[in-house]
Amino acid sequence: MLNVCLCNDSFPPLIDGVANAVLNYASVINSEYGRSVVAVPEYPDVTDNYSFPVIRYPNINTTRFIGYRAGMPFSPDILSKFNAMGIDLIHSHCPAASTILARGLLEIVNAPVVFTYHTKFDIDIARAIKGNFLQDMAIKMLVENISACDEVWVVSRGAGDNLRSLGYGGDYIVMENGVDLPLGTVSPEKIAEVTGTYDLPSGLPVFLFVGRLMWYKGIDLMLDSLSCLKERGAAFRMVFIGDGGDREEIEKRAGELGLEECIFVGAVSDRDDLRAWYCRADILLFPSTFDTNGLVVREAAACSLGSILVRDSCAAEGVTDGRNGILIEKDVPCLTEKLLALCSADGAEQMKRIGEAAAKELYISWEDSIGRAFSRYETVCENWKSGLYENRRKDPLDDLYSIFGDIGAVLERARSTTQKLKGLFDGRYL
């Protein structure tokens, strides 16, 4: 039996893919394999009623910039809470504050650190930080955090490629995420209860998007394609489930395009309600090239719902065009033509067939996914005890000092250059 500490910057009440992953890791480990504890930033007015302990630490409200709160993991009081827990392994799911916390825990916990790379953090950094130099420094800090871990996992081959592009040069293992929805559909009564109050006429195809309402999810491509689809006389409904920093702009843009067919439901936290939406829809639209795994694609597959995805995107890994999904080029004409075909007389049968194949070929449960992960945990602990890992341990503050040193060197060069230029101009006009 292992006692695993899971660290992440997002966790309920925030709903996103990584928060969902950590919640399921903790739940499945605690019920099937060992013990788990979760370390996450504080959120106001939250009561944690879980079968496992949740330790929350101070944070900065960065929701406006990156969609969640950034933790401040340097509190001695927080670190001391882990002292008597007998932690055997630390698993971080975010390369920022969570991995700094994981590295700080090594002062009191003699255990290996595993890191999972879920998200293309360079995109979040570009949104939150202006200026190439500061972005490069932030990426350097994240890569150094990741490189200091004993073993690195990625959720897809594409995620590994992205991590390499940021400068990571170490090894990694592909460890796919699962989904917590059971395989199968809900009852017609449940579907009617959840979706019946919305304008969803019988016989019209229902397109569905599930995820954070952020432009980088490919939502601009969707809206422009839906506008073209409407201009060509097709009848449909488009349902958006989720919330996010760009929601207001997205709804405004849909209105400007005259897309009364778009329905914005908001975030759906009840998993059975979400299953009902998957079962009511005819196809999932997920043209995101940002996501490294696309859990919603497998959630949809659990409910025999196929997806439209961008060819060669991470979310499209394992998808064969026309069999268990539909692949498009990332442009408006291509998506428009695919949607137009699905609105035709043969479209309903095609979507049904693709959904059935997705259920058979794409679905993976969290129990199976975490079973594989836990088996690897045991190997990691054995390797750690045998001293097989490279000694990467150092104070996480060292990396910050290094980065601040880089910034200081650049500022000093700028100051020196400014003084020289000033001297030249002063001499010229004497």
Band of the pLDDT at 121, cuts 50, 70, 90? Answer: confident
Whether residues 220 and 359 share a domain: the answer is yes
Whether residues 223 and 238 share a domain: the answer is yes
- Host domain of residue 281: 188-363
What local confidence, expressed as pLDDT, does residue 246 receive? 94
Whether residues 378 and 350 share a domain: the answer is no
Whether residues 220 and 355 share a domain: the answer is yes
* Proportion of the chain above pLDDT 90, given as a percent: 64
What local confidence, expressed as pLDDT, does residue 414 receive? 47
Q: How far apart are the C-alpha atoms of 107 and 207, rounded to whole Å?
A: 51
Whether residues 103 and 208 share a domain: the answer is no
The two beta strands, 237-241 and 173-174, are unpaired
- Is residue 246 situated within a structural domain? yes
Looking at residue 293, which CATH number applies to its domain?
A: 3.40.50.2000
| Residue where a domain stops, chosen among 342, 363, 384 | 363
Whether residues 149 and 194 share a domain: the answer is no
- Is residue 27 situated within a structural domain? yes
Whether residues 354 and 375 share a domain: the answer is no
Q: How many separate domains does the chain show?
A: 2
What local confidence, expressed as pLDDT, does residue 397 receive? 52
Dihedral sign, Cα of residue 131, residue 136, residue 137, residue 138: positive
Whether residues 358 and 373 share a domain: the answer is no
Whether residues 316 and 269 share a domain: the answer is yes
Whether residues 273 and 388 share a domain: the answer is no
419 exposed, middle or buried (CB, 10 Å; 0-12, 13-18, 19+)? exposed
- Is residue 215 situated within a structural domain? yes
- Is residue 47 situated within a structural domain? yes
Nearest to 137 by CA among 94, 167, 160, 169: 167
Q: How far apart are the C-alpha atoms of 23 and 67, rounded to whole Å?
A: 18
Residue-wise pLDDT tens digits, 275-325: 999 999 999 999 999 887 788 999 999 999 999 999 999 899 999 999 999
What local confidence, expressed as pLDDT, does residue 67 receive? 58
Residue-wise pLDDT tens digits, 361-404: 999 999 999 999 999 999 999 999 999 886 655 555 555 434 43
- Is residue 69 situated within a structural domain? yes
- Is residue 403 situated within a structural domain? no
Band of the pLDDT at 9, cuts 50, 70, 90? Answer: confident
Whether residues 356 and 385 share a domain: the answer is no
Whether residues 130 and 73 share a domain: the answer is yes
- Is residue 404 situated within a structural domain? no
What local confidence, expressed as pLDDT, does residue 70 receive? 64
- Is residue 96 situated within a structural domain? yes
